[in-house]
Amino acid sequence: MRRVLKPTPTLTLPRWAGEGIGFAVLGAYALLYASPYGLRVLTVAGVYALAAIGFQIVFGLGGALSLAHGAFFGVGAYATGILGSQLGWTFAATFPLSILVPFLLALLVGLPVLRLESHYFALATLGIAQVVLLLAVNCPGLTGGANGLPGVPGIVLFGWAVPRGLPLAAVVWGFVALGGALAWSLARGRWGRALTLVRDDPLAAGALGLDVGRLRLGAFALSAVYAGAAGALSVHTQRVVSPEVLEFPVMVSILAIAVVGGRGRVAGAVLGAVLLVHLPEWFRFLERSYLIVYGVALLATIVLLPEGLTGLLDRLFPPRRRALPAAVAPSAAASVEGAVLRVEGLRKAFGGVRAVDGVALTLEAGSITGLIGPNGSGKTTVINLISGLERPDAGRVVVAGQDLAGKRPDRIARAGIARTFQAVSLPEGATVLEAVAAARLERDRSVAEAEAHALWALERLGAADLAQRPCADLPAALRRRVELARALARQPAVLLLDEPAAGLTDAEKADLAGHLRAIAAAGTALLVVEHDMGFLLPLAGHVLCLDQGRTLYDGPPAGVRGDAAVVAAYLGEDAP
């Protein structure tokens, strides 16, 4: 039974209202009040807004602190500067190339650096920025060296030389609107949702069929497109390109804009840029002291508004809660009978420790298999090896006739294997419906379709009333339920559950057991890692017990308690 929560009686606005009102205010200011100086500052703000929108994609949505974003900005600027001032090319030719060059550079450097973990990635991208800066300074024949290149022509659109002031501001903000609309649309679509999950939990993203590497590379390259476009426009506004466009203050400005405005939000990029570009101008009368006031204002904003300006606006004017979609069952997966997963000779060692040593198992469609053993016996490693989070040293993982051992997690997930994790990890900023819908992003054609299917999965587990609740608010038992729904939404042939009953009350365990039986009855093969024998043995049709990576017992659950080796290694003599 699905219950739709009633919205609280507060002033709510459509999601696009804030952006619309903001643009209208900016437009009115530009048209009615702004002096040439005001328009100039507004134009610079537009340039930084465009750069920050791109940064929101890689940093805000993708969670990758790319310190090369300033370098891509500079590369776009230099492409325009060199082609415009040295070769006399016009905007129609320089602008696309100023986007293309940083895009290609991002693809080139992204492949190796995106494999690095967070802080190493940040350092590597900082290194890229330094190399590009050194090249700009030390190749004076091409770049003009430290002096840079003057004489960059202005923007010419369809034969119209765009003059300074309102027309230039309008063109720059036109690109901001265009880029903002595209980024907004991407962020709300399947790609943006997938990227957010990659940011929040890359392991889960991979296990849900999302190609983490490809998504990250796409975000990195797309952000470079925005940075390049902003760099090109920046050069057109000041008619000279010099190494300052590649220096760290540009990167810091973009980062500060994204954080102050609101991480991951297009509106945040625009608000942050408008505020942070204007702030120093407002305090300029203080001469040298303005930096202190500017710094204090910036610090206060970050401390008092950790979610940025858009977070504050959301608190003041909560966006209208979206109505739940109607639950729709996804088209039924092809019915499979017999063995759906065959594992043979699986081995994995970590240094001198053999975590898994020759494990073999077969899961039949509709069966429930228990996997038990003492801590450190290799149970979770077996699940990790099957699901692709670890690469086996040897062995086969055969699904539908294909050996998937050592393949990427997303490839294995797409082959029909889903899993849950011992420590439940749900994206804190997402609602339950959004978290479960993430499992369908790789399969469905739209977010709406994914959410309809997600609601079906929640309904199957009796959790539809949680759909609009934030994941962060859920107690442990409900988090496990939501995670199970997420895995179920994949319609897997094989479901790997890592201690699904941990922390549950007896009533909750009974409820969970009922759901697992129903899932198995629908044809899915379950492999359940569990320590609670009272929960597992009545549930499972077959049990494997591991000890020190080796199979100690492989047989019916009834034989577990009577097996001397299992008792000695795991259950103990006093086991009930």
Partner 1 sequence: MRRILPLLFCVPLLCAASGAARAESVSVPVLVPLTGFLSLEGTSQRNGALLALKNPPAGITADAPVIDTGTSPEAAVTALERAAGGPVTAVVASMLGTQMLAMLPLAAEYKLPLVTVSGTASITEQSNPWVFRFFPGDAVTKEAHARYVVEELGKKRPALIYQTTAYGQSGKAHLETAFKRLGAELVFEEGVDPAAKDLLPVLTKALAAKPDVLVLHLHSAPTALFVRQAAASGIPVPIVAGSAMHQPSTAALLEPAELKGVCAETAASPISGGSPEVEAFTAAYRAAFNAEPDAFALGQYDGTRMVLDAVKAGARSAEDVRKALSTGTHQGLAMTYTSDGKGNMAHSAVIVCYDGASRVPAIVKRYDNITGVVK
- Which residues of the chain form contacts with partner 1 (CB under 8 A)? 35-37, 40-41, 44, 137-138, 140, 145-148, 150-151, 164, 234, 237-240, 242-244, 249, 281, 284, 287-288, 290-291
Give the residue with the Cβ less far from partner 1, 244 or 364.
244
Residue type, 555: G
Q: Which two tokens stand for residue 358?
A: 């020759």
CB of 137 to partner 1, least distance (A): 6
Q: How far is CA 576 from CA 314, 532, 557, 562, 563, in A?
A: 54, 11, 14, 11, 14
Give the span between the Cα atoms of 60 and 350, in whole angstroms. 35
Give the span between the Cα atoms of 540 and 368, in whole angstroms. 5
Give the residue with the Cβ less far from partner 1, 39 or 424.
39
Give the residue with the Cβ less far from partner 1, 283 or 317.
283
Give the span between the Cα atoms of 554 and 276, in whole angstroms. 65
Give the span between the Cα atoms of 127 and 161, in whole angstroms. 38
CB contact at 8 A, 65 and 251: no
Give the residue with the Cβ less far from partner 1, 146 or 565.
146
Give the residue with the Cβ less far from partner 1, 292 or 472.
292
- Residues 182-219 as b/e (b if ≥16 CB within 10 A, e otherwise) read bbbebbeebbbbbbbbbbbbbbbbbbbbbbbbebbbbb
Give the span between the Cα atoms of 355 and 381, in whole angstroms. 7
CB of 122 to partner 1, least distance (A): 20
CB of 28 to partner 1, least distance (A): 20
CB contact at 8 A, 200 and 428: yes
CB of 150 to partner 1, least distance (A): 4
CB of 97 to partner 1, least distance (A): 22
How many Cα atoms are found within 13 Å in the side-chain-facing hemisphere of 444?
Answer: 27
Host H or E run for residue 293: helix 290-304
Give the residue with the Cβ less far from partner 1, 250 or 386.
250
Give the residue with the Cβ less far from partner 1, 278 or 517.
278
CB of 249 to partner 1, least distance (A): 7
Distance from the Cα of residue 408 to its chain's centroid: 18
CB of 85 to partner 1, least distance (A): 11
CB of 94 to partner 1, least distance (A): 17
Give the residue with the Cβ less far from partner 1, 234 or 301.
234
Q: Which two tokens stand for residue 404?
A: 């998937």
Q: CB under 8 Å, gap of 24 or more: what pairs does 32-39 form?
A: 34/166, 34/169, 36/164, 36/165, 39/164, 39/165, 39/166, 39/168, 39/169
CB of 236 to partner 1, least distance (A): 11
- Residue 13, classed as helix, strand or coil, is strand
Give the residue with the Cβ less far from partner 1, 243 or 549.
243
CB of 290 to partner 1, least distance (A): 7
Residue with tokens 């290799």: 378
Residue 229: closest CA among 10, 83, 51: 51
In order, the DSSP letters of 14-61 are: -TTHHHHHHHHHHHHIIIII--HHHHHHHHHHHHHHHHHHHHIIIIII
CB of 125 to partner 1, least distance (A): 20
Give the residue with the Cβ less far from partner 1, 20 or 36.
36
CB of 254 to partner 1, least distance (A): 13
Give the residue with the Cβ less far from partner 1, 2 or 284.
284
Give the residue with the Cβ less far from partner 1, 287 or 337.
287
Show the DSSP H helices in 345-503 as ranges: 379-387, 409-414, 432-437, 447-460, 476-488
Give the residue with the Cβ less far from partner 1, 241 or 487.
241
- Residues 120-140 as b/e (b if ≥16 CB within 10 A, e otherwise) read ebbebbbebbbebbeebbeee
How many Cα atoms are found within 13 Å in the side-chain-facing hemisphere of 62?
Answer: 30
Residues 6+ apart with CB under 8 A from 421: 203, 204, 483, 498
CB of 139 to partner 1, least distance (A): 11
CB contact at 8 A, 465 and 371: no
